[in-house]
């Protein structure tokens, strides 16, 4: 009986799949980083570099139409690794933040249209000691866990 219950829970588990975000713009665009502050605060220099860019997100969720699921923004481990990415949205997706190697929920519910679209304002902050160049690419993608 225990083996049958274990098999049933594994069979019913959600699988994670990549969501087609090739319609998002700008796709694979460089992100230019600048100093957050050029003057020391209380005598302590601020070594933080920041960057911001608008991003039009278009997710093709047609394979999961009429199903329920959770969509995540995923930031794989990358160089520089010690950064924080955050974003605001126009309301179709959830705002949030994450670090490399993590994923954050951006949408949950029943998929009733073949595409989810939103305008994100992406912001990045990173310690300058971790950055080799002032222009870097931020590689991310979207995943769905179907219920």
The answer to whether the peptide bond before residue 80 is cis (omega within 30 degrees of 0) is yes
pLDDT for residue 82: 77
Give a yes or no: residue 118 inside a domain: yes
CATH code where residue 22 lies: 2.60.120
Number of domains in the chain: 1
Segments forming the whole domain that contains residue 66: 14-146
- Which stretches of the chain score pLDDT less than 70? 1-14, 27-30, 39-44, 79-81, 130-137
Give a yes or no: residue 3 inside a domain: no
Give a yes or no: residue 5 inside a domain: no
* pLDDT tens figures, 7-20: 333 444 458 999 99
- Whole-model pTM: value is 0.81
User: CA 131, CA 79: separation in Å to the nearest integer?
Assistant: 8
| 8-state DSSP, 39 | S
Give a yes or no: residue 86 inside a domain: yes
């Amino acid at each position: 009986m225990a083996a049958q219950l274990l098999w049933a829970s594994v069979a019913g588990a959600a699988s994670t799949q990549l969501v087609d975000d090739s319609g998002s713009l700008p796709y694979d665009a460089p992100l230019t980083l600048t100093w957050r502050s050029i003057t020391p605060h209380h005598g302590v220099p601020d070594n933080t570099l920041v960057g911001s860019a608008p991003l039009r997100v278009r997710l093709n969720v047609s394979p999961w139409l009429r199903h329920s699921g959770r969509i995540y923004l995923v930031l794989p481990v990358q160089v520089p690794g010690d950064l924080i990415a955050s974003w605001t949205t126009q309301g179709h997706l959830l705002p949030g933040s994450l670090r490399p190697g993590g994923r954050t929920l951006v949408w949950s519910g029943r998929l009733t249209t073949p595409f989810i679209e939103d305008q994100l304002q992406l912001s990045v902050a990173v310690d300058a000691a971790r950055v080799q160049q002032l222009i870097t690419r931020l590689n991310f993608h979207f995943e769905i866990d179907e219920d």
